[in-house]
Structure 1
Amino acid sequence: MQLVYGKSSLPSSIGIEEHDSSADEESDGDDFFKPKGDGIKKHRVDVGNWNRIYAIVLSPGIGQKLLKRNQDTEATFEDEDAVFGDFEDLETGEKHTNETSNVANHKQAGLDEEERRLKKLALRAKFDAQYPFDTNGPFGRDRTKENGYIDKLKEEIELRKQMNIAELNDLDEGTRIEMEGFRTGTYLRLEVHDVPYEMVQYFDPCHPILVGGIGLGEENTGYMQARLKRHRWHKKVLKTSDPIIVSVGWRRYQTVPVYAIEDCNGRHRMLKYTPEHMHCLAMFWGPLAPPNTGVVAFQNLSNNQATFRITATAVVLEFNHASRIVKKLKLVGYPCKIFKNTALLKDMFSSDLEIARFEGAAVRTVSGIRGQVKKAAKEEIGNQPKKMGGQPKEGIVRCTFEDKIKMSDIVFLRALDSS
C-alpha cells in the first residue's frame, strides 16, 4: 500500500505495520498486565473492511494480493484466539478454558430463564387471586356458574329419563307403544292400501322404497318469512303478488309471495319488485317449515324452457309469525267546499271509519299549501242534503290549511298502509 499510495494519511488503526510498532513500544512494561493480541483484536474489523475496500478500488493484481493478505490476517487472529483464549488464575490456581466459559454462560442463561419463568408464574397467580375468573373464556370470562347450571340441568334431565324408563318398564308392550311410541331399532310391518298394480309389476328389490313421516309442526299451514334473492342467471325481476312455485324441504307447491325490505327503523316496507344484487324478505302462505330450511323458487316447471329455470333462492327465517308489511299510499282528494282556512275534501276516503284512521295526517296541495286531516264532515255540502239515495254520504273529510286553497287545487296525502 505504501509503494502504491505513499505514506498513508489514515489513522494508525488502519495500517498493520504502524499499529504493530506502536503496540511494541507500549507493551514494554505492560506485558504482565496486558495479554498479547488485545490491541490487534480491537481493530480486526477495521483492517478487514479497509483491505476489502482497497481490493475493490485497485487493479485486479493488487486487489488479489490485498485479499490474500486479509485472509492471512484473519487466520492469524484465529490462531491467536486458540492460543491466548485459555488462561490460569495464578492466585487460586483455577484454569479457565473456552469450554468452561461456555458451560458457565449456558448455566447463567438457564438460571436467568428459570428466574423469568418463576416471575411470570408469580404474576399470574397474583392476577388469578385478584380476579378469580375462568381463563378459558375470552378476556377471562367467568363460566364456572354457567357450567354448573348446565351440568345441573343435564343431571335433572338424565334423572327424569331414568324415572320414565323405570315407569314404562312396568307396562305391557301395547300400552308402552301407545304412550311412548315405537322405539329406535324396532321392526315394523306396514300395510299400504290402494297401491297401483304397476308398482307391483315393475317392482325392483334392488331399489328400496323409503318411508318417512313429518313432524307435528309441519302438518300445519301458515305464513312463512324467508330471506330471498333473485338468481343471478334469471333475466327478469320478480314482482309482488305474482305466483311462483316453491320447493321447501320435500314439498313443492304454488304460492303468492309479498316482497319487502327492512328499513333502518325496523319497519318492513313492501317492494313492488325484487331488488338487484341484494336480498329481500318474502312473505308467503304454505305448509310450515322449520327455520334455516332452504327454498328454491320457479315460475315454470316445463322442461322446454330455453332460459334458466330457477328464479330465486331463499332460506326460511320464521314461520307462523305475524309480520306487518307496510306500503306507500298516495291518496288524492278534491275540494268540494272551501271556508277561510278550512276545506271539505271528497274522493280521498270512502268511509268515516277510514277517515278516523287517518286523523292528524299531513296533507298537501299541488301548489305547496300544507294542511292536516281533522275529522269526518257532518255538515251539508252545498244545497244537497247529507243523505243521498237513502244512504248517508260518507267519505267527506274536513281539513285545515295554512292558507286558503282554491277549488282548482288537488290535495294529496302520503302515508303507509299495512297489509
Structure 2
Amino acid sequence: MSVLNFLVRRHPSNSEPVRAKEELIFHCGFRRFRASPLFSQHTSADKHKLERFLRPDATLVVTVYAPITFPPASVLLFKQRSNGMHDLIATGSLLSVDPDRIVIKRLVLSGHPFKIFTRTAVVRYMFFNREDVMWFKPVELRTKWGRRGHIKEPLGTHGHMKCHFDGQLKSQDTVLLNLYKRVFPKWTYDPHVPEPVPWVRSESALPVQEVEME
C-alpha cells in the first residue's frame, strides 16, 4: 500500500458537485476499489493547494491510499447512486506513487483595526490571548485593500496587538493572516465494491404503438 496520485479531468456527461473526501469508486488498471480521495491542484511547485470540489474546468490530482500500481495506468472514477447505479464522473491516468507529495489547505484568520495611527494600528478579534500573538508574530499580514504589514507586539492579555503596515489603514478595512496546514487522505480503502445495477428501461418509456380496431 502507498499514496497514489491520479491526474484526472471531469467527464462532460456529469455535472453533479463532488466534494473532497467523498466516497468514490476507482477502476485503476485491473483493480476496482472504493476510497475517499483528496483533490489538489496540478502545478510544478513542491506544495499543492487543496481543492474542496472536483472542478469541471481544470485538471486536478486525486490522492488516495491504494495498492501500488505502475504508471501510466488508466483510471475511471465513478459515483454510486442511492439505487446502486454507477455514474462516471472523471477519467485520467496514474501520475505517480509518491507519499511525499505535499497537499496544503489554506486557512484565513481575520481581525479588525481598533485604533488607527499613521502606519500602525491596534488590531483585535484575530486572537484572544497573548501567547497566540507571540506565536504568529513572524507571519506576514495583509488587508482586503492591499496593505502589507507585520505584528509588532501584543497589547494586554486579551489578544490585542500592535501592527505596522506600509500605509495608513481605513477604518472599514479588514486585516487577514494566511495559515497553511498539510492534509492527508483518509484511510478508507475498501476492495469490496458491489456490482452496479444494470440500467433497465421502464415500461412507461416504451413507445406506444397504435392498434387499429377491426
Query: Which range, TM-score by smaller chain?
Result: 0.5 to 0.7
Deviations 1:92-129 (A, max 9, x none): xxxxxxxxxxxxxxxxxxxxxxxxxxxxxxxxxxxxxx
Q: CA deviation at 1:299?
A: 1.6
Please name the residue that 1:344 is paired with. Answer: 122
Aligned residue among 356, 374, 378 for 2:151: 374
Aligned residue among 131, 139, 142 for 1:363: 142
User: Is residue 398 from structure 1 mapped to residue 150 from structure 2 by the alignment?
Assistant: no
Deviations 1:26-61 (A, max 9, x none): xxxxxxxxxxxxxxxxxxxxxxxxxxxxxxxxxxxx
Structure with a larger share of its residues in helix: 1
- Counterparts in 2 of 1:295 and 1:347: CA distance versus 1, 3 Å: farther
Aligned residue among 89, 101, 112 for 1:311: 89
- Counterparts in 2 of 1:334 and 1:270: CA distance versus 1, 3 Å: same
For residues 340 and 226 of structure 1, the distance between their equivalents in structure 2, rounded to whole angstroms, comes to: 51
Q: Is the 8 A contact 2:5 2:95 kept in 1?
A: yes
Q: CA deviation at 1:337?
A: 4.8
Structure with a larger share of its residues in strand: 2
Q: CA deviation at 1:253?
A: 3.4
Larger radius of gyration: 1
Q: Structure 1: which 5+ runs fail to align? A: 1-219, 381-385, 387-392
The answer to which of 286-295 and 227-236 deviates more is 286-295
Deviations 1:263-300 (A, max 9, x none): 46565233333333542211223333333233222221
Bigger relative CO (Cα 8 Å, ≥ 6 apart) = 2
User: Is residue 412 from structure 1 mapped to residue 175 from structure 2 by the alignment?
Assistant: yes
Deviations 1:320-351 (A, max 9, x none): 42112344544320134555532232332477
Secondary structure of 1:236's counterpart equals coil
For residues 36 and 83 of structure 2, the distance between their equivalents in structure 1, rounded to whole angstroms, comes to: 22
Q: Is the 8 A contact 1:296 1:313 kept in 2?
A: yes
> What are the residue-to-residue correspondences of 1:10-159 with 2, within 5 Å?
none
Which amino acid is 2:162 matched to? R
Please name the residue that 1:20 is paired with. Answer: none
Deviations 1:211-269 (A, max 9, x none): xxxxxxxxx3x322110122222232433232222233454433222222234656523
Please name the residue that 2:61 is paired with. Answer: 281
What is the TM-score of this pair, normalised by structure 2?
Answer: 0.64
Please name the residue that 1:195 is paired with. Answer: none
- Counterparts in 2 of 1:353 and 1:415: CA distance versus 1, 3 Å: same
Q: Is the 8 A contact 1:256 1:284 kept in 2?
A: yes
Please name the residue that 1:262 is paired with. Answer: 42
Please name the residue that 2:12 is paired with. Answer: 232
Secondary structure of 2:80's counterpart equals coil
For residues 329 and 292 of structure 1, the distance between their equivalents in structure 2, rounded to whole angstroms, comes to: 34
What is the TM-score of this pair, normalised by structure 1?
Answer: 0.36
Aligned length in residues:
181
Secondary structure of 1:373's counterpart equals strand
Please name the residue that 2:76 is paired with. Answer: 296
For residues 226 and 349 of structure 1, the distance between their equivalents in structure 2, rounded to whole angstroms, comes to: 39
Aligned residue among 243, 249, 252 for 2:23: 243
Please name the residue that 2:196 is paired with. Answer: none
Deviations 1:49-94 (A, max 9, x none): xxxxxxxxxxxxxxxxxxxxxxxxxxxxxxxxxxxxxxxxxxxxxx
- Counterparts in 2 of 1:350 and 1:233: CA distance versus 1, 3 Å: farther
